[in-house]
Amino acid sequence: MTDAYVSRETPTREEDDPPLAMEALRAVQILNPSGVVTMPRPDHTRIMCVANQKGGVGKTTTTVNLAVALALHGNRVLVVDLDPQGNASTGLNVPHHAGIPDVYDCLIDNVPLSDVAQAVEGIPNLWCVPATIDLAGAEIELVSVVARESRLSRAIAAHPDTFDYVFIDCPPSLGLLTVNALVAAQEVLIPIQCEYYALEGLNQLINNINLVRQHLNPTLDVSTILLTMYDRRTRLADAVEQDVRNHFGDKVLRAVIPRNVRVSEAPSYGQSVMTYDPGSRGATSYFEAAQEIAEHGVKGGKA
């Protein structure tokens, strides 16, 4: 029960947050006010689908924080919120109440993506296509539209601006919305929560990815696995990490995202953890993950 005593003495910091001096230094790097720190820009738009049909594994958190990290370091980034719950829109503080033009209008009514994308306040180079509650109907309505699997792909291709990254935040299911994301993307990023059932259910996702590859998007690549909500105090987390690394090899990013209370607090302030508490372990880990992803994009290895 030592943990309980520690947390009572230091109620606002997590046990594993870094010392203040290092934290301050990292915060400057992450917020990058002078623009000096850059992450290399890819030579083509990288469209990354953030998918895992399990809910609560960190898809949205990963989408939001990687997008902000890359945008703060010189990349042009678009986030497409493809979950009717609209959590990515909330996390980026983008209005998405009923009546706001959203991704539903693009998928079902052919409204251009550029008409519904909103600039994210306070983060230059970052835009978000929000999801409103309207999107809840899309899964069913898509069934009867023409080219139902490639609506998002067409919408992204028709966008007049060039982005370095497009992140698509998927809902926790393998329905037509996720299929649209898999058809639109070149790469799949799978966040895996470090818990006992982590690998269970992944087969189903991989099977779906294989089906999409066979029939609709031959070059789709599972390029990136990110371990999330890692709790280093448990032996289980370590075992899950070994399992995932054995299974997926160098697709697994070296950076691992710890379970960190700052990460979970940030969305209620309409912020990413990068801006909410840039010195926290949550922010530094997402910063490192974004750096790795950016480096893979220029080496040509995984992109």
Ligand X SMILES: Nc1ncnc2c1ncn2[C@@H]1O[C@H](COP(=O)(O)OP(=O)(O)O)[C@@H](O)[C@H]1O
Least Cβ distance, residue 77 to ligand X (angstroms): 17
Select from ligand X, Mg ion, none the partner in contact with residue 40, using the beta carbon and a kind-dependent cut-off of 5 to 8 Å: none
Does residue 120 contact residue 126 with C-beta atoms inside 8 Å? yes
Pick the binder of ligand X from 131, 192, 253, 257 (CB under 6 A): 257
Task: Provide the 10 A C-beta neighbour count for residue 138.
Answer: 26
Q: Which residue, among 200, 188, 207, 154, has the nearest Cα to 59 in the 3D structure?
A: 188
Contact pattern for ligand X over residues 52 through 71, marking x by CB under 6 A = ---xxxxxxx----------
Does residue 129 contact residue 77 with C-beta atoms inside 8 Å? no
3-state secondary structure of 288: helix
46 versus 59: smaller Cβ distance to ligand X: 59
Q: Which two tokens stand for residue 143?
A: 């069934």
Residue 180 in the binding site for ligand X (CB under 6 A): no
Contact pattern for ligand X over residues 78 through 117, marking x by CB under 6 A = ---------x------------------------------
Residue 59 in the binding site for Mg ion (CB under 5 A): yes
Residue 45 in the binding site for Mg ion (CB under 5 A): no
* Strands of the 187-193 sheet, one edge to the other: 118-119, 126-129, 77-81, 165-169, 46-50, 187-193, 221-228
Pairing of β 77-81 and β 165-169? parallel
126 versus 303: smaller Cβ distance to ligand X: 126
Residue 177 in the binding site for ligand X (CB under 6 A): no
Pick the binder of ligand X from 18, 40, 172, 175 (CB under 6 A): 172
The size of the interface with Mg ion (CB under 5 A), counted in residues, is 3
